[in-house]
Amino acid sequence: MDSVKQGANYVSEQVQKATSGVSKEANKEVAKDSNASIGTRASAAKDAVGDKSKETGHDAKAETHKQAI
């Protein structure tokens, strides 16, 4: 039963990792957009860094759950 729970947690972390990755890429595009204001670009760049951190964290948690299975 524990392996089922670990499997579900693994899938959940993979989904969250993917979501963070999509958000990171979107923020990177905004940060590169020369038509956006400097404030918007700076905010998007900061958010992209945060999303990368979340993506890495979810990947590590997913690997932990995978190993527990």
For 11-34, b/e burial (b = at least 16 CB within 10 A) is eebbebbeebbebbeebbeebeee
Q: Per-residue pLDDT tens for 28-53?
A: 999 999 999 999 999 999 999 999 99
Q: Give the DSSP letter of residue 35.
A: T
pTM: 0.88
Whether the per-residue pLDDT at 55 is higher than 90: the answer is yes
Please give the Cα distance from 62 to 10 (Å, whole number). 5
What pLDDT, on a 0 to 100 scale, did the predictor assign at position 9?
97
